[in-house]
Structure 1
Amino acid sequence: MAITSANQLELLQTAEAVAREKMIDPGLVVEAMEESLARAAKSRYGAEMDIRVSIDRKTGVATFTRVRTVVEDEELENYQAELTVEQAKQYKEDPQVGDELVEEVPPVELGRIAAQSAKQVILQKVREAERDRQYEEFKDRAGTIINGLVKREEYGNIIVDIGRGEAVLRRNEKIGRESYRPNDRIRVFIKDVRREPRGPQIFLSRIAPEFMAELFKMEVPEIYDGIIEIKAVARDPGSRAKIAVISYDNSIDPVGACVGMRGSRVQAVVNELQGEKIDIIPWNEDQPTFLVNALQPAEVSKVVLDDEAERIEVVVPDEQLSLAIGRRGQNVRLASQLTGLDIDIMTESQESERRQQEFAVRTKLYMEALDVDEFFAQLLVSEGFSTLEEVAYVELDELLVIDGVDDSTAQELQARARDYLEAQAQAALAKARELGVEDSLVDFDGLTPQMLAALAADGIKTLEDFATCADWELAGGWTTVDGQRVKDDGLLEAFDVSLEEAQNLVMTARIQLGWVDPDDLLTEEETDEELEAAEAEEDQA
């Protein structure tokens, strides 16, 4: 088939028809035709030639041209598509490197094989354009709800027709007891849209917490208008969920607005989620207060928050323990997801027993270290002295408030405490040296003899060894493994070394060793100032 005047207009008509059918730009189809014709021409004139085809968008006339680029003499590799400056002088005056020489060549005859190859190129380009259109259409719709039609089921995964494409609802994204048949209507959450070699992949979900939040946004106008905000959602799909809301209008009750008249609003969401029970909880910035709300319907007696470990300890009445934990731990698990904290629940009797044990341990320590009787040791514990260091180094006035303690008694107590601590330090230092700790680490400020012994037991015996440590190795921390928070024990965690203190110790060691230039270090305030300045420049631009 030759590109003659008889079929020139047919090219444009074909492009228009294909573009209309696939809902893509006709120009993309014409470009695909140009590329396919150019490929066919190369098979006729030679694969090394740079043959280009241009189709006039009005007349359909296809123009075949050969392009040669001017290059330096030593860079000449492809004699069919390149030429030197000297060679180019035959065709134009004063040629420069990078210039292109264009000359028209006769149109080619498309044989059966060449025509089939051109067809494949066009189809491939059309498919790519169709995929790009689908990706562009749905990429900004991730995080929203869409209605679709069930087409079929493949290995437990549901293929959903969403209009101009298909999406997949994986079996692990379905609510447990749900089943669908072809042509069933389904409401789903667009969880992710990815561009992949086989085309855009649209992944759906019905168990995502965001799905519930979007459903409430559809049912509660105050959420859609921004008067009420959903701060957190935790779900056990198909069984139970907790949702935390806050109102920015004091005259509107966020919980009541989400429940609706006679529960109409929340019931609409429950029905969509196959009867999933929903607890609507008022949000509070104070984490302990928020947790008390989140553990409803259980009553909470006391809450102790550990900010650094992101853990919270909850004390409940003995008869409320099973209610607070919930069936198979469901209530406490959802409350933990909602607050982002690990929750330890204990009864009042368990807490009382633990406090008694701590009281007994401290009493015994003071009896042995200070050589006092049990009654006096218990008196110190009752007054809030939790460590020997506190007894040894507090102001005398704090000891004088204890009944029966005068100046001389207070001074004697502090002297005994200091002697005991000094003996402990000497024993720890001797143990550290016995384990091989070098003077470079012993002389390093910030490490006590007990810390040196703990480090030596783990093989850290020189300042260089210490400088290679990570801050979390010293202070400890928490990591998330398979969705569960796992405790990382720190070498110095028993000595209440915080993560920030560990960072400072390690960095000081590196500076002393010359590994780090202190002038290169920015303070946190300087870093924040630089970030603010950069953001201000971007805003001005």
Structure 2
Amino acid sequence: MAITSANQLELLQTAEAVAREKMIDPGLVVEAMEDSLARAAKSRYGSEMDIRVSIDRKTGKATFTRVRTVVEEEELENYQAEMTVETARQYLENPEVGDQYVEEVPPVEMGRIAAQSAKQVILQKIREAERDKQYEEFKDRVGTIINVAVKREEYGNVIVDLNPGEGVLRRTEKIGRESYRNGDRIRVFIKDVRREPRGPQIFLSRTAPEFMAELFKMEVPEIYEGVIEIKAVARDPGSRAKIGVVSYDTSIDPVGACVGMRGSRVQAVVNELQGEKIDIIPWNEDMPTFLVNALQPAEVSKVVLDEDAERIEVVVPDEQLSLAIGRRGQNVRLASQLTGLDIDILTEEEESKRRQAEFEERTKLFVDTLDLDEFFAQLLVAEGFTNLEEVAYVELDELTVIDGVDDDTANELQARARDYLDEQNRKALEAARELGATDSLIDFEGLSPQMVEALAKDDVKTLEDFATCADWELAGGWTTDNGERVKDDGILEPFGVDLAEAQNMVMTARIQLGWVDPAELEAEEAEGEEDETEEAQA
């Protein structure tokens, strides 16, 4: 088949017809035709030639050209598609490397095999165009809900019709034991869209926390308008969920708005989620207060927050323990997901026993180290003293307020505490020196003798060793391993050194050693502050 004037317009007509059918750009179909014709021409003229085809978008005329590129003589590899500068002078005026010589060649006669090959190229290009169109259509819809029809089920995964294309609702993304028949219409959340060689893969979900949030946005106008915001969602799909909401209008109750008249709004979401029970909780910036709300319906007696460890300790009445934990730990698990904190739940009895154990431990410390009787030691503990340093260095007034303690007794207590601490420091320094600790480390400001001993035991014996430590190695921290938070113990953590203090000490050591220029450090900090200010203003 030759491309003659009789069928030139048919190319454009065919391109437009295919584009309308597949709902893609006609230009993409024409480009596919150009590629297919170029491939057919290469089979006629030689695969090593650079043959290109251009179809006029108005007349449909196909122009076949051969392109030869000018290259350096030593880089010449393909004589059919390349030529040297010397050879190019026969065709071009003042040729340079990179120039191209284009000459028109006669149209090809397309035989049956060439025509079939051209058809395959066109179909492939059209499929690619359809895939690109589908990807572009859905990539910006991630995080939204769509209504789809079920096509079939494969190994527990549900394949749905996206028109065009298909999406996958994996078995793990279905609620409970949901099952669907062909043609059923369901709501799904677009969780992810990926471009893959076999075409765009669109992953859907009905278990994602965001799915519930989007359902509430559809049912509660105040959320859609931004008056009420969903701050956190935690789900046990198909069973129970907790959702934290806050209102930016003091006249609107966020919980009541989400529940709706006689529970109509929340019930619509519950029905969509196969009867999943939903606790709607008022959000609070104060995390302990928010946690107390999140553990409802259980009552909470006391909350202790450890922000560094991202853990929170909750004390509940003995009879409320099972309610706070929930069936199979569901209530506390959802509250933990909602707050992003690890939660330890204690009964009042357990907390009382722990407090008693701490009281006895501190009492014994004062009895053993200060040579006090048990009653006097208990008075110190009851007054809030927890260690010898507090006794040794507090103002006398804080000791004399204790019944039976006058100035002479307070001075004697402090003298005993200081003598004991000095002796402990002397022993710690001796042990540190025996382990190999150098004066550069011992004399470093901020390190107590006990700290130096602990460092030496961990093979940190010089100021250079100390300067190479990471802040978390000294202060400790938390890492996530297989989804679980794991504690990393720090060398100086038992002495109350936090990450900020550790970072400051390490940087000071590096400055003393000349590893860091203080001027450069100040400049970097100033630049960082400027960047933060600009971001805040933006």
TMscore range, shorter length? over 0.9
Corresponding residue SS for 2:148: strand
- Deviation by residue 1:204-241 (Cα, 9 ceiling, x = unmatched): 01110000011111111111111111111111111100
Partner residue of 2:388? 388
Seen in structure 2, the aligned counterparts of structure 1 residues 394 and 68 have a Cα distance that, compared at 3 Å, is: same
Q: Is the 8 A contact 1:291 1:339 kept in 2?
A: yes
1:60-99 → structure 2 map (5 Å cutoff)? 60-99=60-99
Corresponding residue SS for 2:291: helix
Seen in structure 2, the aligned counterparts of structure 1 residues 94 and 337 have a Cα distance that, compared at 3 Å, is: same
What is the CA-CA distance between 1:485 and the residue it aligns to? 2.2
Corresponding residue SS for 1:346: strand
Partner residue of 1:158? 158
**Aligned: 1:129 with 2:129:** yes
What residue ranges of structure 1 are gaps of 5+ in the alignment? none
Partner residue of 1:445? 445
What is the CA-CA distance between 1:99 and the residue it aligns to? 2.5
What is the CA-CA distance between 1:429 and the residue it aligns to? 2.3
Partner residue of 2:337? 337
What is the CA-CA distance between 1:121 and the residue it aligns to? 1.8
RMSD: 1.9
- Deviation by residue 1:4-41 (Cα, 9 ceiling, x = unmatched): 22322222222122212211111011111111211222
Partner residue of 2:492? 492
Partner residue of 2:402? 402
**1-structure distance, mates of 2:418, 2:113:** 97
1:417-496 → structure 2 map (5 Å cutoff)? 417-496=417-496
**1-structure distance, mates of 2:291, 2:108:** 77
What is the CA-CA distance between 1:524 and the residue it aligns to? 4.5
Corresponding residue SS for 2:69: strand
What is the CA-CA distance between 1:472 and the residue it aligns to? 1.6
Q: Is the 8 A contact 1:146 1:162 kept in 2?
A: no
**2-structure distance, mates of 1:394, 1:129:** 78
Partner residue of 1:348? 348
1:304-343 → structure 2 map (5 Å cutoff)? 304-343=304-343
What is the CA-CA distance between 1:509 and the residue it aligns to? 3.2
Partner residue of 1:198? 198
What is the CA-CA distance between 1:46 and the residue it aligns to? 2.5
What is the CA-CA distance between 1:270 and the residue it aligns to? 0.6
**2-structure distance, mates of 1:321, 1:299:** 9
**1-structure distance, mates of 2:492, 2:477:** 11
Corresponding residue SS for 2:200: strand
**Aligned: 1:528 with 2:535:** no
**2-structure distance, mates of 1:468, 1:108:** 73
- Deviation by residue 1:336-368 (Cα, 9 ceiling, x = unmatched): 111111111111111111111111111111111
- Deviation by residue 1:467-509 (Cα, 9 ceiling, x = unmatched): 3332222211222233332222222211111011122222333
Q: Which amino acid aligns with 1:462?
A: T
Q: Which amino acid aligns with 1:278?
A: I
Q: Is the 8 A contact 1:318 1:349 kept in 2?
A: yes
Q: Which amino acid aligns with 2:63?
A: T
Partner residue of 1:508? 508
**2-structure distance, mates of 1:153, 1:196:** 22
What is the CA-CA distance between 1:74 and the residue it aligns to? 4.3
- Deviation by residue 1:105-145 (Cα, 9 ceiling, x = unmatched): 11122233332322222222111111110000001110000
Larger mean CA deviation between 44-53 and 506-515 belongs to 506-515
Corresponding residue SS for 2:278: strand
**1-structure distance, mates of 2:448, 2:362:** 22
Larger mean CA deviation between 431-440 and 487-496 belongs to 431-440
Q: Which amino acid aligns with 2:209?
A: P
Corresponding residue SS for 1:141: coil
**2-structure distance, mates of 1:468, 1:159:** 55
**2-structure distance, mates of 1:457, 1:292:** 43
TM-score when normalising by structure 1 = 0.95
**1-structure distance, mates of 2:270, 2:228:** 19
Q: Which amino acid aligns with 1:102?
A: V
Q: Which amino acid aligns with 1:122?
A: I
**Aligned: 1:273 with 2:281:** no
**2-structure distance, mates of 1:57, 1:489:** 71
Larger mean CA deviation between 364-373 and 145-154 belongs to 364-373
Partner residue of 1:291? 291
Seen in structure 2, the aligned counterparts of structure 1 residues 280 and 374 have a Cα distance that, compared at 3 Å, is: same
- Deviation by residue 1:27-83 (Cα, 9 ceiling, x = unmatched): 011111111211222222222322111011122111011112233444444332233
Q: Which amino acid aligns with 1:286?
A: D
Partner residue of 2:214? 214
Larger mean CA deviation between 507-516 and 211-220 belongs to 507-516
Larger mean CA deviation between 417-426 and 516-525 belongs to 516-525
**1-structure distance, mates of 2:113, 2:431:** 86
Q: Is the 8 A contact 1:9 1:59 kept in 2?
A: yes
**Aligned: 1:19 with 2:16:** no
Q: Which amino acid aligns with 1:218?
A: M
**1-structure distance, mates of 2:240, 2:503:** 42
What is the CA-CA distance between 1:305 and the residue it aligns to? 1.2
Partner residue of 1:101? 101
Larger mean CA deviation between 322-331 and 374-383 belongs to 374-383
**Aligned: 1:5 with 2:9:** no
Larger mean CA deviation between 33-42 and 20-29 belongs to 33-42
**2-structure distance, mates of 1:229, 1:535:** 22
**2-structure distance, mates of 1:534, 1:375:** 59
Corresponding residue SS for 2:270: helix
What is the CA-CA distance between 1:286 and the residue it aligns to? 1.1
Partner residue of 1:263? 263
Q: Is the 8 A contact 1:366 1:377 kept in 2?
A: yes
Q: Which amino acid aligns with 2:237?
A: P
Q: Is the 8 A contact 1:69 1:83 kept in 2?
A: yes
TM-score when normalising by structure 2 = 0.95
Larger mean CA deviation between 271-280 and 112-121 belongs to 112-121
Corresponding residue SS for 1:151: strand
Corresponding residue SS for 1:5: coil
Q: Which amino acid aligns with 1:530?
A: D
Question: Percent same amino acid at aligned positions?
Answer: 82
**1-structure distance, mates of 2:244, 2:320:** 22
**2-structure distance, mates of 1:496, 1:336:** 27
Give the number of aligned pairs: 537
**1-structure distance, mates of 2:478, 2:389:** 28
Larger mean CA deviation between 327-336 and 79-88 belongs to 79-88
Corresponding residue SS for 2:140: helix
What is the CA-CA distance between 1:525 and the residue it aligns to? 5.1
What is the CA-CA distance between 1:423 and the residue it aligns to? 1.3
**1-structure distance, mates of 2:514, 2:152:** 66
- Deviation by residue 1:427-475 (Cα, 9 ceiling, x = unmatched): 2222233333344433333222222222333333333433333222221
**1-structure distance, mates of 2:131, 2:518:** 53
Partner residue of 2:55? 55
Seen in structure 2, the aligned counterparts of structure 1 residues 78 and 511 have a Cα distance that, compared at 3 Å, is: farther
Corresponding residue SS for 1:40: helix
